[in-house]
């Protein structure tokens, strides 16, 4: 009986020793969004034309497999939100989920194309279907431009709804 019990306990240990190591997130795909990691000062125009400033802190978490965004709206605004992004190795694309204090939930997919990171989604409001996307462009070590865009024709044309200039915080 002792031999049987010893064998039962040894089997999981032997199986674990033979199991392949879990995949890591240190390949080139997981570095495509590294330009976004950091503390950022943001500036953008409100609907009334007034320039607003806010903050965004972006870090890598969970062994470098996930990018966590912590957005703080401009003083006097009530928008605060978080996103998590990861490269889905099976789908071979980036995926991001955004949630905020207005109970918004948005999910995006996409990737790097022509020096721009583009994540998009299908959306529907009041029975009308449209596309939304985020574009990180003009990427430099000290900043970039972020665009929030909408397409009512399935993605043939895009209109910019919101434009944010990112600068590394000092």
- CA torsion sign for 115, 144, 66, 20 is positive
- Structural tokens at position 32: 């495509």
Query: What residues have CB less than 8 Å from 54, skipping those under 6 apart?
Result: 42, 44, 71, 72, 73, 74, 75, 77
Q: Pairing between strand 66-72 and 143-151?
A: unpaired
pLDDT of residue 10: 52
pTM metric for this prediction: 0.84
Domains and CATH numbers, the chain: 25-168 (2.40.128.20)
Q: Which of 84, 116, 114, 89 is nearest to 28 (CA)?
A: 89
Kindly list the averaged pLDDT for each block of 10 residues, start to end, along the chain of length 170: 54 62 85 96 89 94 96 82 96 97 96 96 95 97 96 95 94
The residue assigned the tokens 């980036």 is: 94
């Amino acid at each position: 009986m002792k031999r049987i019990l010893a064998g039962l306990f040894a089997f999981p240990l032997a199986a674990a020793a033979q199991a392949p190591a879990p995949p890591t997130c240190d390949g080139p795909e997981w570095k495509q969004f590294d330009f976004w990691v950091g503390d950022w000062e943001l500036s953008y125009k409100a609907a009334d034309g007034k320039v607003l400033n806010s903050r965004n802190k972006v870090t890598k978490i969970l062994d470098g497999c996930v990018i966590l965004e912590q957005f703080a709206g401009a003083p006097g605004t009530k928008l605060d939100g978080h996103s998590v992004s990861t490269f889905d190795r099976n789908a071979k694309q980036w995926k991001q989920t955004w949630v905020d204090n207005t109970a918004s939930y948005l999910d995006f997919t996409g990737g790097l194309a022509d020096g721009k990171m583009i994540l998009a989604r299908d959306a529907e409001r009041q029975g009308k279907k449209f596309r939304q996307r985020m574009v990180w462009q003009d990427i430099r070590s000290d900043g970039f431009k972020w665009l929030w865009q909408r397409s009512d024709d399935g993605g043939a044309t895009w209109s910019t709804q919101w434009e944010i200039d990112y600068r590394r915080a000092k």
